[in-house]
């Protein structure tokens, strides 16, 4: 176990965006088959962190390793092969608004995996049920849905086909507590039953405790604390303590 390289690793990642160093030497590890939760203030670069891991942004320096393999500047067939095992839920859902809901969910199955449309539709409806969306939603367009429903469709799209690594960018933001809990159950199920590696970003501490095995706190472009979720409450770290208490006073200054 210990000889095996971690599933996903950020090594000294730096990126400069819109005039400042968003990530400034970020080191982070997601262990195989575990669920990592990243917490941190608004605008601290959490979304950028996972977009870099997905290859959607290229860091100025540093490395991204998947199973120990450097994929930072990978292109072509090998890249497609590796990233075919990834799924991602975007913070803003990012549903294709020209396609009906079911085709959004089945997009990868139909366009990349070569499944027939009826089979894709069947699988999409099953995936929608997992996020508590009924069959009647399948033929609507994303524009016809509420924000929370769009988020759940995007979640179904990210997990369909059981990817090995899934990134969830604020999966429960904008959901009512009951649906949020169902979504958290779904994430736990993906990790516990299907053995995937999950990386989730959340502001919601209850969610973090429920879905996380490990927690990492991002601040000032670096990970200022990380550890198993059980040690969150006695971290002894002023950043984490302030975040947990939700105080305006402390090392973190509110982003207004």
Partner 1 sequence: MNPVRVVGRITLDILAQAGDVTLFALKGVAAMLSPPWFPRQLARQLMAIGYLSLPVVGLTAVFTGAALALNIYTGGGRFNAEQIMPQIVALGITRELGPVLAALMLGGRVSAAIAAELGAMRATEQIDAMRTLSTDPFRYLVGPRLLAGVISLPLLTAVADLIGIAGGWLVATRTLNFNPTVYVRNTGDFLQDWDVESGLIKAAVFGFIVTLMGCYHGYNATGGARGVGRATTLAVVSAAILIFLSDYLLTTWFSRS
Contact residues: ligand ATP, CB under 6 A: 17-18, 22, 40, 42-48, 91
100-139 positions binding partner 1, by CB under 8 A: 107-108, 111-113
Give whichever of 123 and 157 is closer to partner 1, judged by the CB atom: 157
Evaluate whether 158 touches 199 at the Cβ level (below 8 Å). Answer: no
Q: Is 254 in the site for partner 1 (CB under 8 A)?
A: no
Alpha-helix runs per DSSP H in 54-146:
76-83, 101-105, 107-111, 117-130
Choosing among Mg ion, partner 1, ligand ATP, none, which partner's interface includes residue 45 (Cβ < 5 to 8 Å by kind)?
ligand ATP
Q: Is 168 in the site for partner 1 (CB under 8 A)?
A: no
Give whichever of 23 and 167 is closer to partner 1, judged by the CB atom: 167
Report, in this order, helix, strand and coil percent for the chain, each rounded to 5. Answer: 35, 25, 40
8-47 positions binding Mg ion, by CB under 5 A: 47
Q: Closest distance between partner 1 and the C-beta of residue 225, in Å?
A: 29
Q: What are phi and psi of 128, to 5 degrees?
A: -65, -35
Evaluate whether 99 touches 150 at the Cβ level (below 8 Å). Answer: no
Give whichever of 201 and 208 is closer to partner 1, judged by the CB atom: 201
> Please, which residues bridge with residue 201 across strands?
38, 169
Q: Which of 3, 28, 22, 33 lies closest to 164 in space, CA to CA?
A: 33
Choosing among partner 1, ligand ATP, Mg ion, none, which partner's interface includes residue 119 (Cβ < 5 to 8 Å by kind)?
none
Give whichever of 46 and 151 is closer to ligand ATP, judged by the CB atom: 46
Task: Count Cβ atoms within 10 A of the Cβ of residue 37 and give its class: 0-12 exposed, 13-18 middle, 19 or more buried.
Answer: buried
User: Which residues are near Mg ion by CB under 5 A?
Assistant: 47, 91
């Amino acid at each position: 176990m210990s000889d095996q390289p971690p599933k996903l690793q950020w090594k000294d990642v730096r990126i400069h965006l819109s005039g400042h160093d968003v990530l400034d030497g970020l080191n982070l590890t997601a262990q195989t088959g575990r669920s990592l939760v990243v917490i941190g203030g608004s605008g601290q670069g959490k979304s950028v962190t996972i977009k870099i891991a997905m290859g959607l942004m290229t860091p100025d320096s540093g490395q991204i390793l998947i199973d120990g393999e450097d994929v930072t500047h990978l292109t072509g067939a090998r890249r497609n092969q590796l990233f075919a095992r990834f799924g991602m839920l975007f913070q803003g859902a990012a549903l294709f608004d020209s396609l009906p809901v079911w085709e959004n969910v089945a997009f990868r199955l139909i366009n990349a995996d070569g499944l027939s449309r009826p089979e894709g539709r069947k699988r999409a409806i099953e995936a929608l049920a997992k996020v508590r969306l009924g069959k009647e939603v399948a033929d609507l367009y994303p524009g016809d849905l509420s924000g929370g429903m769009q988020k759940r469709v995007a979640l179904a799209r990210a997990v369909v086909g059981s990817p090995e690594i899934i990134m969830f960018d604020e999966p429960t933001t904008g959901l009512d507590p009951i649906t949020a809990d169902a979504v958290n159950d779904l994430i736990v199920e993906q990790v516990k039953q299907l053995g995937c590696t999950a990386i989730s970003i959340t502001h919601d501490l209850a969610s973090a405790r429920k879905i996380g095995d490990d927690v990492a706190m991002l601040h000032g472009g670096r990970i200022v604390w990380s550890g198993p979720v059980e040690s969150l409450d006695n971290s002894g770290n002023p950043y984490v303590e302030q975040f947990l208490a939700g105080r305006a006073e402390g090392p973190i200054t509110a982003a207004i």
